[in-house]
Amino acid sequence: MTTPIVFTFRTKLDPITYYGQDEVDHVNIRVPKPAENHIDRASMRRDKEWTSFSNSSMLFGCVSRALGLAGVGKALRLDRLPESVTVDTSGFLAVVTVQIPSYRA
């Protein structure tokens, strides 16, 4: 079994309230498009399944597809996170880490 690839980003939490409510209904996390600073390419080069994509122009498309397969869309709800997602809300910006599993599994 290979180690999962880590997709990490920082974002501001977006509390959602509906019209006429004073309380926060839920908190959204906006997921950015994969970019250079979100992916650890060194770990991708060590992984036998991702090494061919680590310097490829198809890398971000492959990561986007893998994120979709992991249950990560354009936004996440803080109370309904997939198993592969962890969120650290201790700082000003939340640090979101997604463990991207093997795409051949």
> For residue 100, with 0-12 CB atoms within 10 Å meaning exposed, 13-18 middle and 19 or more buried, which class applies?
buried
Instruction: Summarize pLDDT for 12-43 with one digit per residue, the tens.
Output: 998 888 888 788 888 899 999 988 888 888 87
What is the C-alpha separation between 61 and 33, in angstroms, rounded?
10
Could you give the percent of the chain with pLDDT greater than 70?
93
Residue 104 in this model has a pLDDT that exceeds 80: no
Of the CA atoms within 13 Å of residue 105, those in its CB half-sphere come to: 12
pTM value > 0.85: no
